[in-house]
Amino acid sequence: MKVTSLAFPVCFFLLLMTVPISRAAEAPPNVVLIFADDLGYGDLGCYGATKVQTPNIDRLAKEGRMFSDAHSASAVCTPSRYALLTGEYPIRANGGNGVWGPAPVTSGLIVDTEKLTTADVFKNNGYKTAALGKWHLGFGEGTNNWQEPLRPGPLDLGFDYYFGLPVVNSAPPYVYVENDRIVGGDPADPLVYLGRGQHKDATPITKIPPEASQRTPNMFKGAVEAHKRYNDYTVGTVLAGKAVDWITANKQKPFFLYLATTHIHHPFTPGENFQGSSEAELYGDFIQELDWMVGQVTKSLEEHGLSDNTLVIFTSDNGAMLNLGGRNAVRAGHRINGDLLGFKFGAWEGGHRVPFIARWPGKIAPGSKSDQLICNVDLLATFAALVGQDPESLENKDSINMLPALLGDPSEPLREELLLAPHKPSHLAIRKGKWLYIGARGSGGFGGSKEHQHAWGGPPATAFVGSVNSDIENGRYKKDAPHAQLYDLQNDVRQTQNVYNGFPEVVKEMEALLESYRPKKAAAKNQKRNRQPKVTKQ
């Protein structure tokens, strides 16, 4: 059974007992969580970008709080979303085998419907709840055959309403799903999965140019009308409109809106009004459309008089990717992950350190900044505290209440350590205080060695963006580079120096801490690997 919180009136009373009396007469706060896709640490004006303009997101930062040490629990899209919804490290999913990569097209729902979710926290306390945009957590049980109704799904995880892309904008089916039905679906023309590589009979989809970056060909036939309703270039407009409409329809009650944008995941297909609008090619144009979407949401809150009683959180599912769009942006002078080392999928900071902004007028100090270590896995406990439930009552202890860091300025760290997952289990990483330990050489992310490859990564890619790392020389790992990595992020956030050999006692402590998180089978396998220091070159 899912853990059910206290009835809402009692919950909110308990919350009020912990805050100034001046808030006692206030209504329960609304929450809008905007979860961008592949948006890097350097992709926003408020985080240092100069080649793109993000006035609406920058305004959130000006009116709220920016975090400089915020992370996704995974550098990969699906595991990141798992952590956000469940408050659980992705390594614990799938019976302890973890979830490490993007959910495939035919994936069933990877979240146990009996688990308490962030949506449940609100729904159990009288809120209306909605998920809009990218889902990418699967539908159904076992293998998803795409037959309606698409259950279990979002409606079984605490959401009253869902509308969006069932997988991602780079993978089929290229249709919208509303609740548990395909939008524009027709029983006489059902959606039929053909299989990978079976594109000959697939239903036509929107044409996009090569410079938009990679998109998987359609693998479905049928559902012609449903496919017509999906156009790559109007997704931003559609999702922004749905968010505004849902807020308008639910403004009389407390609500939780989870808006998971497809921006700025490849392919880069900004709407016509945004094409050529930035100085960072299509990549930058897509960012600027994302900023417009955020503006539509905040404008709607203002028009309905909801801004002062709404907590808005903006963050990203992982760091930026050096795909074709990313490379073109870098050539134009844009730093997708700022000065951080690495990219999406990897354990280096560029893979999982992300923008995180929170605004709540009158509760969060405007223009404030925080260096608290926080993670998207913490949102479950944070939201539980927000509605008055004791976070310590939650069964899951991976999630830590960060409400004090949002509303105040704690003198001590709220989170002492953090488990960080890249794409490869071998590169699972652990953060404790200023130290980051990665249990292998390299990032554990994309390994493409040639610039033309979609999944470019590793030493040549770091050189392309101007990053320096002591394990790398002339675009290769040094032969004598340590077989694992230790970084002092307090003094070297750019990870220029792997100090593994200089702090053996810290390494020993961090190795033990990391192994304590691994399921027993995975820990035994990793120990065997560590006895063999030779590492295959990426």
CB 431 within 8 A of CB 486: no
**Residue 77 a catalytic site member:** yes
CB 184 within 8 A of CB 229: yes
Q: Supply 441's token pair.
A: 């050489």
* Burial profile 230-247: b = 16 or more Cβ within 10 angstroms, e = fewer: bebbebbbbbbebbbebb
CB 45 within 8 A of CB 348: no
Q: Supply 218's token pair.
A: 């359609």
Beta bridge partners of 35: 260, 315
Q: Where are the alpha helices (DSSP H) in 204-276?
A: 224-228, 235-249
Q: CA 32, CA 34: separation in Å to the nearest integer?
A: 6
Q: CA 56, CA 58: separation in Å to the nearest integer?
A: 5
Annotated active-site residue in 11, 46, 71, 77: 77
DSSP E strand stretches across 88-200:
128-133, 161-164, 177-178, 181-182, 192-193
Length of the chain: 538
Q: Supply 437's token pair.
A: 């330990």
Peptide bond into 152 cis (omega under 30): yes
Q: Where are the alpha helices (DSSP H) in 195-311?
A: 224-228, 235-249, 281-303
3-state secondary structure 150-201: CCCCHHHCCCCEEEECCCECCECCCCCEECCEECCCCCCCCCEECCCCCCCC
Residue labelled with tokens 């995974």: 74
Annotated active-site residue in 136, 263, 265, 334: 136
Task: Using alpha carbons, list the distances in angstroms from residue 112 to 95, 115, 164, 282, 419.
Answer: 10, 6, 21, 38, 21
Contacts (Cβ under 8 Å, ≥6 apart) of 21: none
**Residue 427 a catalytic site member:** no
Residue labelled with tokens 């890619």: 461
CB 109 within 8 A of CB 135: no
Catalogue the active-site residues: 77, 136
